Amino acid sequence: MSDTPRRPPLMPLDEALARLLDRAAALGRTEVVSTFDADGRVLAQDAVSALQVPPNDNSSMDGYAVRAADVPAAGTVLPVTQRIAAGHAGVPLVPGSAARIFTGAPMPAGADAVVMQEDTEALDGGAQVRITAVPTAGQWVRAAGEDVTRGAVILRCGERLSPASLGLAAGIGLAELQVAARPRVALFSTGDELVMPGAVPPEQMKPSAIYNSNRFFLRALLLRLGCEVNDLGIVPDDRAATVAALSAAAQDNDLILTSGGVSVGEEDHIKPAVEQLGTLDLWQIAMKPGKPFAYGSIASPSSRRDAPNVGTPPLPPRQAGGEPGRSTVCHFMGLPGNPVSSFVTFLLLVRPFLLKLQGATQTEVPALRLRADFDLSRPDRRREFLRARRNDRGGLDLFTNQSSGVLTSTHWADGLIDHPAGSTIVAGDLVRFIPLSELLA
Amino acid sequence: MSDTPRRPPLMPLDEALARLLDRAAALGRTEVVSTFDADGRVLAQDAVSALQVPPNDNSSMDGYAVRAADVPAAGTVLPVTQRIAAGHAGVPLVPGSAARIFTGAPMPAGADAVVMQEDTEALDGGAQVRITAVPTAGQWVRAAGEDVTRGAVILRCGERLSPASLGLAAGIGLAELQVAARPRVALFSTGDELVMPGAVPPEQMKPSAIYNSNRFFLRALLLRLGCEVNDLGIVPDDRAATVAALSAAAQDNDLILTSGGVSVGEEDHIKPAVEQLGTLDLWQIAMKPGKPFAYGSIASPSSRRDAPNVGTPPLPPRQAGGEPGRSTVCHFMGLPGNPVSSFVTFLLLVRPFLLKLQGATQTEVPALRLRADFDLSRPDRRREFLRARRNDRGGLDLFTNQSSGVLTSTHWADGLIDHPAGSTIVAGDLVRFIPLSELLA
């Protein structure tokens, strides 16, 4: 009698991603934060401008505001009839005169150009000015509303905020912004071989033990995505304890994330425990590194057991009531245990999932096409994500050891080459390169 | 009599940057943080491995460890004499037998290959195994030390840590890391026209007033660079108060940063106040946006007045004593007030300066060469940093309004085109593109 597992068909990465995103209904919980503290968060309502920026025509230089027609030739001398600093309104310009003006100050009515002060000479202690360059109408004048027009949507619901977004929001007077609440993610560790750094010094490590590295980069990646991380430590190696721990975690978290222990044929307690509490699918994804991947869900006590909240409409513009909404399901994701596989599957699958949970409209990272400065002669039946780095010549170098156990490759690299299954690379070929700076943002 | 300022010569950007970096002696203050919390910080000592990773030859698959020579043909049946899970050491392999083995588990002595379980059939409830594919020696075996060799420097002093670095550090057992202390930066606002968002609603804004946007993106950018930000708010518009505020700030901060108020010919209290307390140079940099830039220094009370601590050796591997070192000077930087100028000069000048204060060895961002999908027919006498965005065709689009007052351009863009002075662009040209994802990291 044979109990051999069959070799499962591989699932294309795009299909795995589509299935995950399909399950990643926006959590719908929002909160209001100071614009100062909103960097990296996902906006939960459109930001509409109630004013125009700048509010009026103003000078983009320190100099003199004039009517261009009053300066027909270089050397023209005009009386200086007023002085306008930023933040102060002038009076209408007396025809045939100039107004001393500073950067950002509103143009006086009747003036249509600014002469920068380097093109002037102040005379009589500033009572008059000689203009040494003939101005053209409109020069060094910033038009009212050239940055933002009244009623314009300057930031869209679902945008991930950056420093520039915060500046824009502040510029239209928004001191606070409504953003998606932080997803709550529980981080589980499994694996008898794992030891926490600090628990045992290197020289006393058992030969079969290794330090837990995945938990460190996974936590950092989660924090970069705006998540609140609940580190649940090592789950006791016992079925009932595992069920209890998962069940408790499912009440307080939107996602339980683990690495290791979910390959085909591995015996551990996470898999049956998740299945007892909800559902679990083991996928074999056609990607390298990162074949085994588990997705499941555990119903929250307050909700139906059988239905994940898929198909919910996107994050509403504003949630009724002050009490944040609760998701009806806690998602479960099991990453492969090999560090590089864990790192890469996080970036390509978990990252977009967590952004979508926050209602982000942009979950994909655009690839560049760059020149490979190496050969890759062995095709693989899986789509590969090769650790590579840009060199001084604008091409890409490949890390020498692409083993999924070599975490050094992810540290050395500044991007991943998205390399199609069954193909080779000859130096000079253009390849798809996904910068880590974008994936880590 | 003329009191006209002369048109100052423009300083090349590279010279301005070199001058700043020359003054940016590493602060030398370090602290020890949990490896969990070290993302984004600058490492202050080399991380050297006291062990090899992985510690021993181990299986990269779930399957059976065998001696390849014992399986001369497909269909060979071997007795299964032991079971080795990750974290557990096996015993030497009995010749002519197989060991059930799981991913990450150490190879038993005498075995030289792993047969993945998909290429096997378990017989007799697991007492025997039929091997359906002939193995080659070394297959699915990860070599001891293939990731990290004992004694290897895995992270270098001066490296800015990323999630992958944290994983590597944890992997060699480091629970804590010595990193550069956070630079302390005081943020000043100047400008009578500025109103804080929230202080006055949009419909009640005076026509000459604008909301302070610079402070919001500057603060967010400083936080991304690992700084501690001390927001000093609006400085009172009075000479003595300004001197007092700057003097106090200089004692508690490494850098005082302001935007606006330092152009040629502008009258404000910051400039004479800094000059009274230390030195101030006003530069006209040959860049667009961002011409005016001020660099100065204010001596701390405990130090000499005249000498910034330039030329100090790089951050020492470990600081003697627990008391953090004090810099002998507080730097002062005045950015232009136009939002885009402020944003761009921060990224190109202040960012590398602050990284160098932390002892970072890498302060530059490598540019890409991408295709311009637009024409730029008007050359400028200054080197330009054009706000641009990658399109679906792999080329670059230009934001329509490149005015230094239009902050929207920095929000729309995903990078800056570094465009040489005096040149034009024709669609199809390759241009230097600096991704914002790298500059904002």
Q: Are B82 and B91 in contact (CB under 8 A)?
A: yes
Helices B239-252 and B270-277 cross at an angle (nearest 10°) of 50
CA distance A335 to B166: 18
Q: Are B324 and B49 in contact (CB under 8 A)?
A: no
Closest chain A residue to B411 measured between Cα atoms? A164
Q: Could you tell me which of B46, B69, B312, B314 has the C-alpha nearest to residue B174? A: B46
CA distance B343 to A67: 32
Amino acid, res. A116: M
On whether any CB of chain A is under 8 Å from the CB of B266, the answer is yes
On whether any CB of chain A is under 8 Å from the CB of B83, the answer is no
Chain A residues with beta carbon closer than 8 angstroms to that of B54: 210, 405
Helices A239-252 and A270-277 cross at an angle (nearest 10°) of 50
Mutate to test the interface with A, among B2, B49, B62, B103 (most CBs of A within 10 A): B103
Are A208 and B117 an interchain contact pair (Cβ–Cβ within 8 Å)? no
User: In whole angstroms, how far apart are CA A89 and each of A93, A378, B102, B377, B382?
Assistant: 12, 72, 77, 36, 32
Helix, strand, coil percentages for chain A (3-state, nearest 5): 20, 30, 50
CA distance A195 to A146: 59
With bands split at pLDDT 50, 70 and 90, how would you rate the model's confidence at B100? very high
Query: Does CATH place domain A368-439 in 3.40.1390.30?
Result: no
The CATH superfamily of B13-29+181-357 is MoaB/Mog-like domain (3.40.980.10)
On whether any CB of chain A is under 8 Å from the CB of B166, the answer is yes
Mutate to test the interface with A, among B176, B211, B341 (most CBs of A within 10 A): B211
User: What dotted CATH number matches A32-49+155-180?
Assistant: 3.90.105.10
Those residues whose C-beta lies under 8 Å from the C-beta of residue B241, and which sit 6 or more positions away, are B235
Concatenating the DSSP letter of every residue in A287-332 gives: EES--EEEEEEEE-TTS-SS---TTPPP--SS-SSSSPP--SEEEE
- Is residue A398 classed as helix, strand or coil in its secondary structure? strand
The interface residues of chain A toward chain B in range 400-419, judged by CB-CB distance below 8 A, are 401, 403-408, 410-411
The H or E element spanning position A230 is strand A228-234
CA distance A301 to A320: 23
Name the residue among A170, A223, A405 with its Cβ closest to that of B211: A170
On whether any CB of chain B is under 8 Å from the CB of A369, the answer is yes
The interface residues of chain B toward chain A in range 298-327, judged by CB-CB distance below 8 A, are none
Are B125 and A194 an interchain contact pair (Cβ–Cβ within 8 Å)? no
- Note the pTM of the prediction, 2 decimals: 0.90
The H or E element spanning position B370 is strand B368-372
Distance of CA B360 to the CA centre of its chain: 9
CA distance B145 to B111: 18
Q: Could you tell me which of A284, A292, A288 has the C-alpha nearest to residue A387? A: A288
B6 has pLDDT over 70:
no
CA distance B396 to A436: 20
Q: What is the pLDDT of residues B105-157, one digit of tens each?
A: 899 999 999 999 999 999 999 999 999 999 999 999 999 999 999 999 999 99
pLDDT at B57: 94
User: What dotted CATH number matches A58-142?
Assistant: 2.170.190.11
Name the residue among A104, A264, A410 with its Cβ closest to that of B337: A104
| Residue extents of the structural domains in chain B | 13-29+181-357, 58-142, 368-439
Which residue is listed with tokens 């008007």?
Answer: B378
CA distance B295 to B278: 11
pLDDT at B306: 39
- Is residue A260 classed as helix, strand or coil in its secondary structure? coil
The structure tokens listed for A56 are 């009026």
ipTM confidence:
0.90
Q: Give the residue, B233 or A224, on which the prediction is more confident.
A: A224
Are B170 and A146 an interchain contact pair (Cβ–Cβ within 8 Å)? no
The structure tokens listed for B100 are 């059930």
Provide the β-strand partners of residue B333: B257, B295
Going by their DSSP bridges, the two strands A415-419 and A430-435 should be labelled as antiparallel
CA distance B419 to B396: 13
The interface residues of chain A toward chain B in range 226-255, judged by CB-CB distance below 8 A, are none
CA distance B144 to A165: 48
CA distance A386 to A376: 10
Name the residue among B192, B203, B207 with its Cβ closest to that of A56: B207
How far off is chain A from B275, nearest CA to CA, in Å?
Answer: 22
pLDDT at B302: 54
Q: Could you tell me which of A18, A30, A42, A26 has the C-alpha nearest to residue A310? A: A26
On whether any CB of chain A is under 8 Å from the CB of B169, the answer is yes
Chain B residues with beta carbon closer than 8 angstroms to that of A410: 164, 167
Number of other CB atoms surrounding residue B414 within 10 Å: 16
Chain B residues with beta carbon closer than 8 angstroms to that of A55: 205, 207-210
The structure tokens listed for A67 are 């009517």
On whether any CB of chain B is under 8 Å from the CB of A220, the answer is yes
C-alpha dihedral (A431, A342, A183, B213), degrees to nearest 10: -40
How far off is chain A from B172, nearest CA to CA, in Å?
Answer: 7
The H or E element spanning position B153 is strand B153-155
pLDDT at A10: 94
The DSSP code for B119 is G
The interface residues of chain B toward chain A in range 19-48, judged by CB-CB distance below 8 A, are 35-36, 39
Q: Are B101 and B84 in contact (CB under 8 A)?
A: yes
* Beta-carbon pairs below 8 A across chains A and B: 348
Question: Cα-flanking dihedrals φ and ψ of residue B381, to 5°?
Answer: -75, -10
pLDDT at A264: 56
Those residues whose C-beta lies under 8 Å from the C-beta of residue B125, and which sit 6 or more positions away, are A1, A3
Kindly give the confidence (pLDDT) of every residue in chain A, 441 residues in length, as a single tens digit, with 9 standing for 90 and above.
344 445 668 999 999 999 999 999 999 999 999 999 999 999 999 999 999 999 999 998 889 999 999 999 999 999 999 999 888 889 999 999 999 998 888 999 999 999 999 999 999 999 999 999 999 999 999 999 999 999 999 999 999 999 999 999 999 999 999 999 999 999 987 777 789 999 999 999 988 889 999 999 999 999 999 999 998 877 766 788 889 989 999 999 999 999 887 665 556 778 889 999 999 999 999 999 998 899 999 987 654 333 344 444 444 433 333 344 444 799 999 999 889 999 999 999 999 999 999 999 999 999 999 999 999 999 999 999 999 999 999 999 999 999 999 999 999 999 999 999 999 999 999 999 999 999 999
Percent of chain B with pLDDT over 70: 90
CATH architecture of A13-29+182-357: 3-Layer(aba) Sandwich (3.40)
Number of other CB atoms surrounding residue B329 within 10 Å: 25
Domains B13-29+181-357 and B58-142 share a fold: no
How far off is chain A from B385, nearest CA to CA, in Å?
Answer: 16
CA distance A419 to A386: 7
How far off is chain A from B156, nearest CA to CA, in Å?
Answer: 12
Mutate to test the interface with B, among A140, A211, A401 (most CBs of B within 10 A): A211
User: In whole angstroms, how far apart are CA A71 and each of A95, B5, B276, B382?
Assistant: 11, 21, 40, 27
B340 has pLDDT over 80:
yes
Chain B residues with beta carbon closer than 8 angstroms to that of A260: 104
Are B62 and A264 an interchain contact pair (Cβ–Cβ within 8 Å)? yes
CA distance A175 to B199: 9
Name the residue among A162, A172, A209 with its Cβ closest to that of B440: A162
Closest chain A residue to B89 measured between Cα atoms? A208
Q: Are B202 and A160 in contact (CB under 8 A)?
A: no
Chain A residues with beta carbon closer than 8 angstroms to that of B343: 163-164, 167
Amino acid, res. A200: V
- In angstroms and rounded to an integer, the radius of gyration of the C-alpha atoms of chain A is 30
Q: Could you tell me which of A336, A425, A418 has the C-alpha nearest to residue A384? A: A418
CA distance B137 to B65: 11
> What is the length of chain A?
441
Closest chain B residue to A438 measured between Cα atoms? B437
CA distance A63 to A86: 12
On whether any CB of chain A is under 8 Å from the CB of B264, the answer is yes
CB under 8 A, 24+ apart: contacts of B298-303: B298/B246, B298/B247, B298/B250, B298/B256, B298/B274, B298/B329, B298/B330, B298/B332, B299/B250, B299/B328, B299/B329, B299/B330, B300/B250, B300/B251, B300/B326, B300/B327, B300/B328, B300/B329, B300/B330, B301/B251, B302/B326, B302/B328, B303/B328, B303/B329
Provide the β-strand partners of residue B331: B255, B297
Those residues whose C-beta lies under 8 Å from the C-beta of residue A18, and which sit 6 or more positions away, are none
Chain B residues with beta carbon closer than 8 angstroms to that of A147: 405-408
B77 has pLDDT over 90:
yes
Are B89 and A220 an interchain contact pair (Cβ–Cβ within 8 Å)? no
CA atoms within 13 A on the CB side of A255: 30
CA distance A161 to B5: 42
